[in-house]
Amino acid sequence: MSRASRAWLVVIVLVVLILGLRAQSKQVLESKPFFDGERPLVIAHRGGAILRPENTLLAFRHAQRIGVDVLEMDVRASRDGVLVVLHDEDVARTTNGKGKVHSLDYAALQQLDAAYHWLPAEAGDHSQPPFRGDGVTIPRFESVLQEFTAIRLNIEIKQHDEVVAHELCRLLRQYRAEQRTLVATEDGATIRAFREACPAVATATARSESVGFLLNQKFRLLGFYHPRAYALELPRKYHGLSLINHRMVNDARAQGMHVLPWTINTRQGMRELLAMGVSGIITDAPNLLLAELAERQE
C-alpha cells in the first residue's frame, strides 16, 4: 500500500471513529410539559380561523370554550415596540385599515376593526361580516397572557427580529408562561436568539432546521443528528412532495421531537395523520378535530 493510500485510510478510520463516538454520545431531548397529555393536541390555528375572526380575543375565547388544548397565534411588534397578535405584515387583509404593523403605533392599531372582513365558511356572496363593528380589535399579546392563564400557547414570531424574540421571552417569564408555551418561527437567527434568551421554553424547528431533519431522515443519518427543537411544525405536503408519513413520525419521536402538521381542515386529513401517530394537529377548524378525537374514544 502506498504512503498516500495509507494516509487516506487513516483519515477514513478517524472520520468513522469520530462519527461513531458522536452517535454513541447522542442524547435524546427530554420531554417538555407542553406536550403532556393522553391525546394528540388540538391546536387552534390563529384561534380557529374558520370559526371566528383570526388572531383575536374573540377567537381565543371561543376556542377555549369548545375545549381545545392549544391556542396558536402570531406576534409582531408595533412601531412603539408593543407586541401584538397579527399574522400579516400589513393590516389590510384582516382589518379596515392600511399600512404595515411596524410602521403603526399601538394606539393606531387599536382603532382598527379586526373582524371587518371575516365571514363564516358557509356565508353567501352577499353576507355581511357578523362581527364587524362589535369592537373586535388587534390584541396586545400581553392581554392574551393576562386572560388565558392556564391554556397552552403556540406562538409564531412572524417578524424576524431578535428584539421581538427578546421581548416575547420577557413577557413569557413575567407571566410565568414558559412551561406551557411552544415558540416557532421560520427564521434561524430569530429562533436562536429566542432559545438563548429563554432556554426553558420549547421551540419548533426553523425552516432550515426542518430541512436538515428531513434530509437526515431520508438518508437514514439521524444517528448523527442532534436536534435543538422539540417540534416539527410542517405542512403534510410541500410542492407535491409528501413530508409526513409513519416512518418520519416514528423517527422524529425517537429523537424526542413531536410532529405537528399544519393546517389540516378536513376530517379525512385529520384521520390519516392521527393514524400516523402525530403529536397534535394545527387546524383552522378545531371543532372537527375535537369531534374526530371524541369518536375515536367511543
Secondary structure letter of residue 233 according to DSSP: E
Kindly state the cell numbers that stand for 112.
Answer: 382598527
In this structure, are residues 23 and 223 in contact, taking their beta carbons and an 8 Å threshold?
Answer: yes
Mean pLDDT of the chain: 92
**pLDDT reading at 88 higher than 50:** yes
The β-bridge relationship of strands 231-235 and 258-262 is parallel
The model's pLDDT over 158-208, given as tens digits with 9 standing for 90+, comes to: 999 999 999 999 999 999 999 999 999 999 999 999 999 999 999 999 999
CA 130 to chain CA mean position, Å: 29
Phi, psi for residue 281 in degrees, rounded to 5: -135, 135
The model's pLDDT over 39-65, given as tens digits with 9 standing for 90+, comes to: 999 999 999 999 999 999 999 999 999
The model's pLDDT over 283-296, given as tens digits with 9 standing for 90+, comes to: 999 999 999 999 98
Q: What is the CA radius of gyration of the chain?
A: 22
Q: Which CATH architecture has domain 37-74+151-297?
A: Alpha-Beta Barrel (3.20)
Mean pLDDT, range 5-28, rounded to an integer = 53
Quote the pLDDT of residue 226. 87
Q: How far is CA 65 from CA 62, 71, 136, 172, 292, in A?
A: 5, 11, 18, 23, 17
Sign of CA dihedral 202, 206, 209, 215: positive
**pLDDT reading at 37 higher than 90:** yes
Q: How far apart are CA 49 and CA 113, in angstroms?
A: 16
Listed by start position, the domains of the chain span: 37-74+151-297
Kindly state the cell numbers that stand for 141.
Answer: 399579546
Kindly state the cell numbers that stand for 227.
Answer: 436536534
The model's pLDDT over 206-263, given as tens digits with 9 standing for 90+, comes to: 999 999 999 999 999 998 888 999 999 999 999 989 999 999 999 999 999 999 999 9
Kindly state the cell numbers that stand for 154.
Answer: 403556540
**pLDDT reading at 276 higher than 60:** yes
The neighbouring-strand residues paired with 258 are: 231
Quote the pLDDT of residue 124. 78
Sign of CA dihedral 289, 294, 295, 296: positive
